[in-house]
Structure 1
Amino acid sequence: MSDSPLIDSLTAAVQARPDDLPLRLHLAELLVDAGRGPEAIGHAAQVLAREPGNATAQRLMTSALGNAAPATPEPAPGPAPAPQPSSKGDQSVDWAALEEDLGDIVPPRFAKADDEPDPVRGHADRTFDIETSTVTLADVGGMQEVKKRLEVSFLGPLRNPKLRTLFGKSLRGGLLLYGPPGCGKTFLARAVAGEMGAAFISLSITDVLNMWVGSSERNLHDLFQSARGHAPCVLFLDEIDALGHKRSQLNSSSMRTVVNQLLTELDGVDGNNDGVFVLAATNAPWDIDSALRRPGRLDRTLLVLPPDKAARAAILEYHLRDRPVAGIDLGKVADATEHYSGADLAHVCETAAEFAMRDSIATGEIRMISQADMLAAVREVRPSTDAWFATARNVAMFANESGEYDDLAAYLKKRKLR
């Protein structure tokens, strides 16, 4: 039957009594007979959302979707046949497909919390990015000792596979970069990836931690799996002290399980870590769980110090390259900025530009950034590394029984800070 006035009346009745399922089914059947499938689908889906096993609603849904013959009248009253079990389960309704196709018609069967994350589906659906670094070690000013260490530990074996096989050198491993903030640890990690022609993944604590139980551990596992799938890959763990803090000092059981998961991933228990080079950076290596620094994990440690004179000159030139400058002696400015971090040097250039711009605004004539501006900026901007070395000095003097901070102690002695 397809009498439109009757359908209109039943539609009004269903709107007044939305929980009357027999009435809704009768309306859906009339809509199927009238060729109004999309409307019938909505009503059948509403019934199935309340009674997933309703045979009449399933039949109407199939008819409306065009996968079966038109709907037939209800059978005469009598004993209902017993349901027949299926070895493959009830596959008559594909709920996932229906919810996707009919999302604009029928509300979802189950609501989720507003802040609950969507499930991750494959490497293409990640919150972190697989990058290709365009910088190499040639772009890193100075740091000759750091470069030599990287060459021996990973870059050399990667370039010489025959020698690597001969000496049994694995491509797996980890290197912990530590030192005062702003000295180029992140830039160095990108340069290593660019030097190798490897993929680069940068991970911070915000990429891992999640309020849902077990989600943080799953995020960490997914990230390592992605790195393994893109080998050779440099996996950079920034601020590793936040992610791998000493478990004895953690009050949160969830954070302890995150540290445990990180240890498991570094061991490669669930996957082969060959070709995955883990670089971690921290300003506070003394806060890292000791288990993370055992052989096979972050077993090599490298102190990244403030840039030397040649590196300071290169950094200053980089930050002045697109600014109007005249008569600047980079060597003299580099001499005046000993113990400055790379971030401090960038701030010096920014401050000098502000001086020149202030005068240009006041006089109405554009003035170049001069040597006097640079030296005035050096007097105003103080090195930010001093506070870090004050803390590091205590560690090198009183907590270096194992000798892991010998390089730091030697530098402090050279600077006459101990």
Structure 2
Amino acid sequence: MSDALIESLIAAVQGRPDDLPLRLHLAELLVAAGRGAEAIEHAAQVLSREPGNATARTLMTSALAGPAAAPPSAASLPAPDAVAPSTPASAETPAAEPPASERSAAEPPASGAPAGVDWAAMEQQFGDVVPPRFARSGDEPEPVTGHGDRAFDVERSTVTLADVGGMAEVKKRLEVSFLGPLRNPKLRSLFGKSLRGGLLLYGPPGCGKTFLARAVAGEMGAAFISLSITDVLQMWVGSSECNLHDLFESARGHAPCVLFLDEIDALGHKRSQLHSSAMRTVVNQLLTELDGVQGGNEGVFVLAATNAPWDVDAALRRPGRLDRTVLVLPPDGPARAAIIEFHLRDRPVAGVDLAAVAAATENFSGADLAHLCETAAEFAMRDAIATGEIRMINQADMLAAAAEIRPSTDAWFTTARNVAMFANQSGEYDDLAAYLKKRKSR
């Protein structure tokens, strides 16, 4: 076989990579010339586009079988769609099968694979020659093999309680229940204070419950794991409970650790109101993990947050589990001023009276105040676009934004007022009732 002809065909294929008949012809010549490794690549390219191409399959088999196998001519190979010519009824005798000694070595046996071919060895030998039919896009996550520690769930918080504006009562409760004993191991041992415990933070949305949990983890230099309902629930029976156990095991393995259960009312809803037996089982598993029955919870401090504590199962709030409840209220005046200053730190500001703006934003949550600063910046930018002159964000922008935005906490307090008035027989919402009474008297 002329090498010059083969080289010419290789150049032609490079110029016309989608010409499949040309590739097949080149592969046939390469097999006949004993250059099976090169033929494999071209046959594979054809099969990647036409998996059922009989010619390409035969050439691939011949190339893999080695130089001893003489491939049939591509011209003599039957086309995939070829139809046998009709014969008279008198000539319906089957063609005689050739003896086994005369069969082509390239002809596959009945099993569909040539005898004596080590496919594993071929994969290793030609793995860099034959392109895969499908390739990873590069941004797909690696498959999860087992339940072990999921590193993306564990982080180190750089926020401390000093970064939290206001919340003096919440900080005091945290100091007594966990942070103080952690800093004083001798006193902890003397008084027999355990480092395990749980605290339920509740209040209107956007008031910093998640931020506070991160601050606790940063204050104690502990690991921080945030758990939400999407981390736990799966459609398969038993998988949700397994996920919950894995996350608690991860927290125990990283002790001291703050495990934050966000939206605990979704994960630990009252079982009497659940119509799904699977969800009731998840709540039972959560109770078991909080008790530390399968593994000690020493060094694991559980912080849970909810906007609807009245929907949380009562068993979760008994002593030994989430045994302390703290109301996280909208920020007071000094805290609002600090939050506004924080959100204006990277914006062009001139002549803004923080105390006056804080006074105009009564009952605003932290999220409302962030939206306030964003709206004031929009006002200044709108004027800059209209006049063509850039100006700073001023007091008028801040007050106009405060007049336009309504506190998002109002709807929550409407619901909470009914709970404090008619569902507080146990006294667990006394702090909420006291705040509502104080708020009404203003």
**TM-score, normalised on structure 2?**
0.72
Of 147, 157, 170, which aligns to 1:146?
A: 170
Give % identity.
78
Q: Is the 8 A contact 1:393 1:417 kept in 2?
A: no
- Give 1:93's aligned residue: none
Q: Per-residue deviation at 1:122?
A: 2.4
Of 335, 339, 346, which aligns to 1:315?
A: 339
1:238-270 per-position Cα deviation (integer Å, ceiling 9, x unaligned): 000000000010111111111010000000000
Of 187, 190, 200, which aligns to 1:166?
A: 190
1:274-289 alignment runs, 5 A limit: 274-289=298-313
Structure 2 unpaired stretches of 5+: 1-64, 73-102, 126-130, 135-142
- Give 2:327's aligned residue: 303
1:104-253 alignment runs, 5 A limit: 118-123=144-149, 125=150, 128-253=152-277
Mapped partners of 2:324, 2:267: distance in 1: 18
Q: Is the 8 A contact 2:160 2:216 kept in 1?
A: yes
SS of match in other structure, 2:346 = coil
SS of match in other structure, 1:280 = strand
- Give 2:121's aligned residue: 38
Q: Is the 8 A contact 2:69 2:105 kept in 1?
A: no
1:376 lines up with 2:440 in the alignment: no
1:405 lines up with 2:429 in the alignment: yes
Mapped partners of 1:320, 1:282: distance in 2: 29
1:4 lines up with 2:68 in the alignment: yes
SS of match in other structure, 2:198 = strand
Mapped partners of 1:198, 1:211: distance in 2: 33
Query: Which amino acid counterpart does residue 187 of structure 1 have in structure 2?
Result: F
Query: Which amino acid counterpart does residue 4 of structure 1 have in structure 2?
Result: A
Q: Per-residue deviation at 1:338?
A: 1.1
**Segments of 4+ in structure 1 off by > 4 A?**
6-12, 104-107
- Give 1:292's aligned residue: 316
Q: Per-residue deviation at 1:120?
A: 2.3
| Number of residue equivalences | 337
Mapped partners of 1:119, 1:37: distance in 2: 24
Of 367, 374, 390, which aligns to 2:414?
A: 390
- Give 2:288's aligned residue: 264
SS of match in other structure, 2:224 = strand
- Give 1:325's aligned residue: 349
Mapped partners of 2:105, 2:429: distance in 1: 79
**Structure 1 residues 37 and 384, CA, compared in 2 at 3 Å: closer, same or farther?**
closer
Q: Per-residue deviation at 1:416?
A: 1.5
Q: Is the 8 A contact 2:69 2:106 kept in 1?
A: no
1:18-45 per-position Cα deviation (integer Å, ceiling 9, x unaligned): xx33x63xx342x45xxx8623x79xxx
1:111-143 per-position Cα deviation (integer Å, ceiling 9, x unaligned): xxxxxx8542522x46x4211000100000111
Mapped partners of 2:235, 2:334: distance in 1: 46
Q: Is the 8 A contact 1:179 1:282 kept in 2?
A: yes
SS of match in other structure, 2:259 = strand
Query: Which amino acid counterpart does residue 155 of structure 1 have in structure 2?
Result: L
1:74-112 per-position Cα deviation (integer Å, ceiling 9, x unaligned): xxxxxxxxxxxxxxxxxxxxxxxxxxxxxx9999xxxxx
Mapped partners of 2:338, 2:293: distance in 1: 43
Query: Which amino acid counterpart does residue 5 of structure 1 have in structure 2?
Result: A
Mapped partners of 1:208, 1:7: distance in 2: 58
Mapped partners of 1:6, 1:348: distance in 2: 80
SS of match in other structure, 2:260 = strand
- Give 2:77's aligned residue: none
1:356 lines up with 2:385 in the alignment: no
**Structure 1 residues 38 and 337, CA, compared in 2 at 3 Å: closer, same or farther?**
same
1:78-97 alignment runs, 5 A limit: none
Query: Which amino acid counterpart does residue 410 of structure 2 have in structure 1?
Result: D
SS of match in other structure, 1:313 = helix
**Structure 1 residues 118 and 417, CA, compared in 2 at 3 Å: closer, same or farther?**
farther
Mapped partners of 2:376, 2:350: distance in 1: 12
- Give 2:12's aligned residue: none
Of 361, 365, 372, which aligns to 1:337?
A: 361
**Structure 1 residues 339 and 211, CA, compared in 2 at 3 Å: closer, same or farther?**
same
Structure 1 unpaired stretches of 5+: 43-63, 65-103, 108-116
Query: Which amino acid counterpart does residue 122 of structure 1 have in structure 2?
Result: G
**Structure 1 residues 299 and 105, CA, compared in 2 at 3 Å: closer, same or farther?**
same
Q: Is the 8 A contact 1:133 1:193 kept in 2?
A: yes
SS of match in other structure, 1:337 = coil
SS of match in other structure, 1:217 = helix
Mapped partners of 1:164, 1:288: distance in 2: 31
Q: Per-residue deviation at 1:295?
A: 0.8
**Structure 1 residues 11 and 267, CA, compared in 2 at 3 Å: closer, same or farther?**
farther
Mapped partners of 1:207, 1:37: distance in 2: 39
**TM-score, normalised on structure 1?**
0.76
SS of match in other structure, 1:176 = strand
Query: Which amino acid counterpart does residue 267 of structure 1 have in structure 2?
Result: D
Q: Is the 8 A contact 2:222 2:255 kept in 1?
A: yes
